C-alpha cells in the first residue's frame, strides 16, 4: 500500500510543541507486481488547529471550509483499517516524512506508539532514487521522478494525497524489481519505531564521547603534515571551528567540523579552508566533505 498525507502544522499545548496534524489521507493498494488494485481517500477535520497555514493552503489548495465535513482522525483510521482488511500490509511512502507524521498522529490521538496494521515499511523515494540515474545524496521530488521516467501525471494533481499516492505507485511500478525491493523492506518492530522517532541533533560539546580524534584531525593539503589547532575549538553556526597553521609550510587554514548524532551513528562534515590574501583555485582550498556512518 502506498500512502500519502497532507498535514497542517501548528503549536500544540498537548504535544508540548509543534504538531503536524493530518488533514488528508490518500492510499493506493497494489498487488505483488505493483499494479493498482484499489484506492482510499479521506479528508480529516482538524481539531488541534482549525486554521490552516498559508503554506498548506498554497501547496495543496485545501481550504479550511472543505475540512468541516471531514472525518475525525479516529474515524478515518477505522475506515482505513477496514479497507486494508486485516492482510499483512507493507506500507510505502515517498520519503519517511509521511511515515513519521502518521506515527506522531497515532501517538497524539490514540496514545499508541505502534500502528496496528503496519507489518513492514519501505521508503519509496530511497528505493526509486537508487534505481534512477541521479546524483548520490540528492533528494528527488515525486514530480521530478515522474518527469525523469517519462511517467504521465495526466489527470493527477500534485500535492493532493490520493494523486500523490497514485503517482508514487506509477513510479514504483516502473522501477520495481522484486529482488532489490526486498532489501528496502523494514519490519515494523521495536527497533523500527525507535529509529524513526529518533531526533538527530548537532553535537555542541567538543568533549562529547561521540566526537572522535579523527573527526578533528587534518593534514595540510600542500605538504601533508598534520595540522595543529592554534587555540581551542570553538562552536558556532552548528559547527566546530579552529585555526590551523601548518608547521611545515606555514600555510594558514581554518578547519570546520559539523558532527550530527543520528540513530545509526554520527555523520561528520569536514572542511578545510586555506586563508589566502588572494583568491586561489577552489580545489586547493577545500578538502571536501567526508561522512562517517
Q: Which of 55, 185, 223, 289 binds Zn ion (CB under 5 A)?
A: 223
Least separation in angstroms between CB 258 and Zn ion: 24
Identify which of residues 25 and 242 has a Cβ nearer to Zn ion in the complex: 242
CB of 226 to Zn ion, least distance (A): 10
The footprint of Zn ion on this chain (CB under 5 A) covers a number of residues equal to 7
**Residue 3's beta-bridge partner residues?**
27
Smallest distance, Zn ion to C-beta of residue 249, A? 3
Site string for Zn ion, 246-275 (x = CB under 5 A): x-xx--------------------------
Cβ nearer to Zn ion, comparing 212 with 225: 225
Rounded to a whole number of angstroms, the minimum distance from the CB of residue 3 to Zn ion is 54
Residue 221 interacts with Zn ion (CB under 5 A): yes or no: no
Segment near Zn ion (CB under 5 A); pick from 43-51, 183-191, 192-200, 244-252: 244-252
CB of 230 to Zn ion, least distance (A): 14
Interaction site with Zn ion (CB under 5 A): 220, 222-223, 225, 246, 248-249
Amino acid at each position: 500500500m502506498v500512502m500519502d498525507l497532507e498535514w497542517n502544522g501548528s503549536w500544540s499545548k498537548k504535544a508540548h510543541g509543534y504538531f503536524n496534524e493530518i488533514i488528508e489521507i490518500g492510499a493506493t493498494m497494489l498487488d505483488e507486481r505493483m499494479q493498482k488494485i484499489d484506492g482510499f481517500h479521506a479528508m480529516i477535520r482538524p481539531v488541534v488547529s482549525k486554521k490552516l497555514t498559508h503554506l498548506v493552503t498554497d501547496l495543496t489548495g485545501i481550504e479550511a471550509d472543505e475540512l468541516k465535513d471531514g472525518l475525525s482522525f479516529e474515524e478515518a483510521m477505522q475506515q482505513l483499517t477496514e479497507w486494508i482488511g486485516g492482510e499483512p500490509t507493507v506500507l510505502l511512502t515517498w520519503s519517511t516524512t509521511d511515515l513519521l507524521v502518521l506515527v506522531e498522529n497515532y501517538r497524539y490521538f490514540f496514545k499508541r506508539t505502534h500502528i496496528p496494521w503496519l507489518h513492514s515499511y519501505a521508503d519509496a523515494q530511497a528505493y526509486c532514487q537508487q534505481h534512477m540515474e541521479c546524483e548520490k545524496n540528492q533528494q528527488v521530488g515525486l514530480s521530478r521522478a515522474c518527469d525523469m521516467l517519462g511517467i504521465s501525471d495526466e489527470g493527477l494533481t500534485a500535492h493532493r494525497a490520493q494523486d500523490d499516492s497514485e503517482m508514487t505507485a506509477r513510479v514504483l511500478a516502473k522501477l520495481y524489481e522484486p529482488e532489490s525491493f526486498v532489501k528496502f523492506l523494514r519490519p515494523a518492530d521495536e527497533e523500527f519505531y525507535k529509529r524513526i522517532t529518533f531526533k538527530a541533533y548537532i553535537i555542541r560539546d567538543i568533549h562529547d564521547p561521540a566526537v572522535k580524534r579523527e573527526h578533528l584531525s587534518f593534514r595540510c593539503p600542500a605538504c601533508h603534515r598534520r595540522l595543529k589547532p592554534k587555540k581551542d575549538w570553538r562552536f558556532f553556526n552548528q559547527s566546530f571551528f579552529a585555526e590551523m597553521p601548518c608547521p611545515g609550510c606555514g600555510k594558514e587554514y581554518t578547519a570546520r567540523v559539523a558532527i550530527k548524532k543520528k540513530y545509526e551513528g554520527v555523520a561528520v562534515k569536514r572542511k578545510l579552508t586555506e586563508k589566502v590574501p588572494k583568491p586561489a583555485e577552489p580545489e586547493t582550498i577545500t578538502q571536501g566533505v567526508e561522512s562517517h556512518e
